[in-house]
């Protein structure tokens, strides 16, 4: 089945004014001005009212936190106090809660134009041992591409950490389950729907040995590594007190300085650390909304990119954003970047590149993130007929500057997953009602 996505209003791609041709889940042709498909097509989608983007890639999230948005126990606090307030509440998470939270988060992301999501799940109260399995099932059912991370924590309050003892596991259980889910779900082939990455929560919630063992396991299964790093000044103090080194030095000692690794936040680096991270190809996921909500600081995006680090965007968990809208993440990255670097330093095209190609690089994927022949047919199509766009001139700039929130159509691997602004094959009102009901247990 060859489909021509024809004559877009605008498209984020080189020489594709007449659109693109999609076949067998991939983009097979881009059509420059005046061009026609090389061979006849089976279907034509008239995109003349749509702005076409590569599907957005969310490089950091905590799906389960959709159940604790705008929570009175945690709002108006900085990270460590926020975590301390929420951990005992999160400890109540059941498999059914996680399933609903993942479904809701995936749908919310999809509706914002996101086609690939990474989720960092590190919370393992008794009974929730199959967290990765649940997220994989939900992603497959919705047809959203995912890097599901097998997160971990083994330093709880009894060892000087922040989480209660009931939500952490010991290193043996963590490593055994990491291997189990890698064997079951990690698909290294191009075009994979599901990949697994290993993701200790942060330097202050695991021990050094687990950090090293996790890197060894990632090497043997050829998967990515992920963690929160340098999010706050508190973390730096904790690392110096606990390990006698700064967080980036800990990363180096544990064998994490490679393209295999991408970090969430990456705010409190010094100039030399940025140089070392860039040289090693360590990716950084900038989570602008969360950083503003928790007053954590501003990611040095321009310095990291200049040093060679892949730079992606993420919405972060829904208790510190508190939404999962990837287009909003693009706008936030532009706004906070301009505040730091000036009006000409970061354009809407930079922010869109971070949310697509940049995030894909963080996840170790060269098969998606751009509209180009050979890449996966992951697309987000927006219409500009809402009042907020009326009077806008440059359609691509309008998406970011006027604040696009909802895609009209979303395609993942050549299959439409959102049509007319609604998820295909899912009763959205029923899902929201069920999710809202489940959230009551976390009041």
In the complex, the smallest distance separating the C-beta of residue 285 from Zn ion, rounded to whole angstroms, is 9
Whichever of 301 and 320 has its CB closer to Zn ion, that residue is 320
In the complex, the smallest distance separating the C-beta of residue 416 from Zn ion, rounded to whole angstroms, is 30
**Which residues, numbered 57-86, are part of the site for Zn ion (CB under 5 A)?**
none
In the complex, the smallest distance separating the C-beta of residue 427 from Zn ion, rounded to whole angstroms, is 30
Whichever of 30 and 205 has its CB closer to Zn ion, that residue is 205
Query: Among all chains, which residue has been given the structure tokens 């779900």?
Result: 185
Q: What separation in angstroms does the CA of 396 have from each of 347, 390, 402? A: 11, 14, 10
Q: What separation in angstroms does the CA of 329 have from each of 185, 338, 352, 385, 418? A: 28, 14, 10, 21, 20
**Which residues, numbered 234-273, are part of the site for Zn ion (CB under 5 A)?**
264
Whichever of 58 and 301 has its CB closer to Zn ion, that residue is 58
Nearest to 227 by CA among 199, 188, 208, 247: 199
Residue nearest to Zn ion according to CB distances in the complex: 316
In the complex, the smallest distance separating the C-beta of residue 166 from Zn ion, rounded to whole angstroms, is 20
Whichever of 135 and 316 has its CB closer to Zn ion, that residue is 316
How large is the angle between the packed helices 95-111 and 131-142, nearest 10 degrees? 40
In the complex, the smallest distance separating the C-beta of residue 82 from Zn ion, rounded to whole angstroms, is 11
Whichever of 199 and 380 has its CB closer to Zn ion, that residue is 199
What residue spans of 186-307 are helical by DSSP H?
208-221, 233-243, 247-253, 271-280, 288-293, 301-307
x/- mask, Zn ion, residues 300-339, rule CB under 5 A, reads ----------------x-----------------------
In the complex, the smallest distance separating the C-beta of residue 39 from Zn ion, rounded to whole angstroms, is 46
24: Cα within 13 Å, side-chain hemisphere: 4
- CA distance linking residue 79 with residue 295, whole number of Å: 8
> For the chain, how long is the longest CA-to-CA vector?
68
Whichever of 316 and 357 has its CB closer to Zn ion, that residue is 316
Q: Cβ distance 290 to 317 under 8 Å?
A: yes
Site for Zn ion (CB under 5 A): how many residues? Answer: 2
Using CB under 5 A as the criterion, which residues of the chain lie in contact with Zn ion when the complex forms? 264, 316
């Amino acid at each position: 089945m060859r489909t021509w996505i024809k004559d877009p209003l605008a498209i984020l791609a080189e020489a594709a004014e007449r659109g693109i041709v999609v076949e067998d889940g991939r983009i097979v042709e881009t059509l420059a001005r005046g061009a026609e498909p090389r061979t006849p097509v089976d279907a034509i989608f008239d995109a003349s009212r749509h702005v076409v983007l590569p599907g957005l890639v969310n490089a950091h999230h905590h799906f389960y936190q959709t159940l604790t948005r705008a929570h009175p126990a945690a709002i108006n606090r900085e990270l460590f106090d926020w975590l301390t307030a929420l951990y005992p509440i999160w400890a109540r998470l059941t498999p059914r809660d996680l399933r609903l939270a993942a479904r809701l988060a995936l749908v919310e992301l999809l509706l914002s134009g996101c086609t690939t999501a990474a989720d960092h799940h590190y919370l393992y109260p008794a009974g929730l041992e199959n967290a990765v399995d649940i997220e994989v099932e939900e992603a497959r059912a919705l047809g959203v591409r995912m890097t599901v991370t097998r997160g971990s924590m083994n330093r709880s309050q009894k060892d000087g950490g922040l989480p209660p003892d009931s939500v952490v596991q010991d290193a043996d259980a963590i490593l055994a389950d990491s291997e189990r889910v890698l064997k079951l779900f990690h698909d290294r082939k191009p075009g994979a729907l599901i990949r697994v990455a290993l993701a200790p929560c942060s330097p202050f919630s695991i021990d050094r040995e687990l950090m090293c063992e996790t890197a060894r396991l990632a090497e043997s299964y050829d998967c990515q590594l992920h963690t929160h790093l340098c999010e706050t000044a508190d973390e730096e103090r904790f690392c110096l007190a606990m390990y006698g080194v700064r967080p980036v030095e800990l990363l180096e000692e544990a064998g994490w300085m490679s393209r295999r690794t991408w970090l969430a936040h990456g705010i409190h680096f010094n100039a030399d650390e940025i140089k070392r991270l860039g040289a090693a190809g360590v990716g950084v996921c900038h989570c602008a909304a969360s950083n503003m909500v928790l007053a954590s600081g501003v990611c040095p995006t321009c310095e990291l990119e200049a040093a060679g680090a892949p730079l992606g965007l993420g919405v972060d968990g829904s208790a510190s954003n508190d939404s999962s809208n990837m287009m909003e993440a693009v706008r936030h990255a532009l706004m906070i970047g301009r505040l730091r670097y000036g009006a000409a330093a970061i354009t809407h095209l930079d922010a869109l590149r971070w949310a697509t190609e940049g995030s894909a690089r963080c996840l170790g994927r060269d098969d998606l993130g751009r509209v180009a022949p050979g890449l996966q047919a992951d697309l987000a199509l927006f219409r500009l007929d809402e009042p907020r766009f009326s009077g806008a001139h440059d359609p691509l700039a309008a998406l970011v500057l006027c604040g696009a929130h909802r895609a009209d159509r979303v395609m993942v691997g050549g299959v439409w997953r959102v049509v007319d602004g609604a998820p295909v094959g899912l009763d959205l009102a029923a899902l929201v009602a069920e999710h809202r009901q489940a959230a009551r247990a976390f009041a």
